Amino acid sequence: MDKQKIIRVARNTIQEEANAIANLVDLVDENFCEAVDLIYSSKGRVIVTGIGKSAIIAQKIVATFNSTGTPAIFMHAADAIHGDLGNILKDDVVICISKSGNTPEIKVLVPLIKNYKNPIIAITANKDSFLGTEANCVLNSYVEKEVCPNNLAPTTSTTAQLVVGDALAVTLLDIRGFSSSDFAKYHPGGALGKKLYLRVSDITSQNMKPQVNAESGIKKVIVEISENMLGVVAVTEKDKIIGIVTDGDIRRMLNNNDDFSLLKAKDIMSPNPRVINNNAMAVDALEVLEENNISQLLAEENGNYAGVVHLHNLIKEGII
């Protein structure tokens, strides 16, 4: 196996596709504005259709639309002419994806869609094709050649189609003022969603709440840390945080004192510890932990001790 050849081919593939995508910049014209306006003004959904590899790209574009506030569904071009045309409703906009724009399925499908009087947006590398001339507007996804050495396997052309779809989705997102909080509504699951909506209170409410006062003896401190399994205890006065004792503080105390029976929490605590608001985002808590190279962070609400956020909580939630 020639490792240098493998690296050379891989790099060449990436570079050629990158060059082809860069060339798409000059192909964006008034048709793109018209396509955006058709979708933005529509009271319906976006139906995205294609055949072969273009159908796979269509599914990805649909997923991107749906996650960024543009309702969309996928309709396979072959299935459309065998019953799935019923998916198209009165106010829907249809995006047809085809490199050549002249496949048999597209030639059958496009006139049927036009009979329904739904606007058609074409994503094609051949604006003079049947699809290009029949569509309401054409988004040019022209590429000089496929990166496949035989210039056969859809590679560069499908990448170009995907990029055009991303450009549509992002432009619509921008026009709608789609915010991170809107994004969170569509992504409630997974690490991405949790970064956008998970709050410190969601974590502290599930954790134990280790707490002692300044006059508590060391045995009480150790028991509180041990039983609550967070490696830390808050030192409070009238429910106000005045200090913190970590398991590291306990180890240092044992190393430095032969007799600690008379010591109290106030003798080994770190005063004025770092604190985060209980209503803050969990990802903000992570930032504080990382910046200060610590594993636990105390939380407060309305000035009162609210609980503990541990680094392990954030790992478990998938924030990291």
Query: Whole-number mean pLDDT of the chain?
Result: 91
pLDDT tens track for 85-128? 888 999 999 999 999 999 999 999 999 999 999 999 999 999 99
Residue 289 · residue 317 · CB < 8 Å: no
pLDDT tens track for 125-179? 999 999 999 999 999 999 999 998 888 788 999 999 999 999 999 999 999 887 7
SS3 category, 78: helix
Q: Is the pLDDT of residue 181 over 70?
A: no
E strand segments, 205-247: 211-213, 232-237, 240-246
Q: Is the pLDDT of residue 213 over 70?
A: yes
The pLDDT, as a whole number, for residue 197 is 76
Q: Which two tokens stand for residue 50?
A: 């294609």
Q: How far apart are CA 320 and CA 317, in angstroms?
A: 8
The pLDDT, as a whole number, for residue 180 is 66
% of the chain residues with pLDDT over 70: 95
Q: Is the pLDDT of residue 209 over 90?
A: yes
The pLDDT, as a whole number, for residue 258 is 80
The pLDDT, as a whole number, for residue 125 is 96
Most confident of 32-41, 168-177, 187-196, 258-267: 32-41
The pLDDT, as a whole number, for residue 124 is 97
More confident: 320 or 294: 294
Q: Please report where in the chains the tokens 């273009």 appear, as a residue.
A: 54
Lowest mean pLDDT, pick from 92-96, 129-133, 184-188, 280-284: 184-188
The pLDDT, as a whole number, for residue 81 is 79
More confident: 139 or 78: 139
Smallest CA-to-CA distance from 232 within 212, 217, 252, 215 is with 212
SS3 category, 245: strand
**Mean pLDDT along residues 231-241:** 95
The pLDDT, as a whole number, for residue 239 is 94
In angstroms, the Cα distances linking 86 to 59, 73, 257 are 18, 12, 80
More confident: 251 or 82: 251
pLDDT tens track for 239-252? 999 999 999 999 99
Q: Is the pLDDT of residue 284 over 80?
A: yes
Query: Whole-prediction pTM value?
Result: 0.68
Q: How far apart are CA 74 and CA 54, in angstroms?
A: 11
N- to C-terminal Cα distance for the chain? 37
